[in-house]
Amino acid sequence: LSGRPGALLADEMGLGKTYQALAFFAWLRSSGVAEAFGPMLIVAPEGLLANWEVEARRHLEPDALGRVVHAYGAELGRADVAGGADIDAGPVMIDSASWLDAGIVLTTYETIRYYHMSFARQPFAVILYDEAQELKNPASQVTRAAKTLNAKFQLAMTGTPIEYSLQG
């Protein structure tokens, strides 16, 4: 991608971070860059994941991002999980082979915490962390799980002013 490991997109809420990120994702897909490195992963609180799909339909051509995989909640349980969580069982519990032809994989912070080994073995072109302040505590299980993930480029987004020191 850029040769840099990532970027931070931070401003006040409602100024277009989601739109900018979707435009970036659509450019990656149209240029063929994304396919060379794997699907793109969006990690966000569950309540925001539907908004990502709504905004993509509103602002992008149909299929601009490719097939969308819901790797969280009940959808994850039905499709891909062998039984139990990585954090409990130890071995990889999600069969991510079905993600290989996906354009976007949507998941939550809680899901990467419970299935971090499964997510870590899947290479992603880009990982986007929406509401990235969820990762501000370097000792938390969520932050440690996020650090295990494999991406060519990572993008953190927040509409919340930085309140604490940046550590990491």
* DSSP H or E stretch at residue 70: strand 68-70
User: Roughly what angle, to the nearest 10 degrees, separates helices 46-59 and 17-31?
Assistant: 60
2 band by pLDDT with thresholds 50, 70 and 90: low
Mind listing the pLDDT tens digit for each residue in 75-109?
A: 775 545 555 666 665 666 777 877 888 999 999 99
* Residue 38 confidence (pLDDT): 87
How many CB atoms lie under 10 A from the CB of residue 155? 22
Q: What is the pLDDT of residue 100?
A: 82
pLDDT (tens digit, 9 = 90+) per residue, 64-76? 999 999 999 877 7
Q: What is the pLDDT of residue 99?
A: 85
Q: Which sign, positive or negative, has the C-alpha torsion 83, 87, 90, 91?
A: positive
Output the pTM of the full model: 0.85
Mean pLDDT of 139-152: 93
Q: What is the pLDDT of residue 77?
A: 58
Q: Which has more confidence, 162 or 62?
A: 62
Question: Which amino acid type is present at position 162?
Answer: I
Residue 30 vs residues 13, 27, 35, 60: alpha-carbon distances, Å: 28, 5, 10, 12
Look up residue 11 and give its two tokens. Answer: 């401003």
Distances (CA, A) of 144 to 35, 114, 135, 140, 168: 27, 11, 9, 6, 10
Q: Which of 70, 12, 10 is nearest to 44 (CA)?
A: 70
Alpha-carbon dihedral 27, 42, 51, 8, rounded to 10 degrees: -70
Q: Is the pLDDT of residue 43 over 60?
A: yes
Collapsing DSSP states into helix, strand and coil, what is residue 106? strand
pLDDT of 32 strictly over 90: no
Q: Which pLDDT belongs to residue 46?
A: 94
Q: What is the pLDDT of residues 115-140, one digit of tens each?
A: 888 898 899 999 999 999 899 898 99
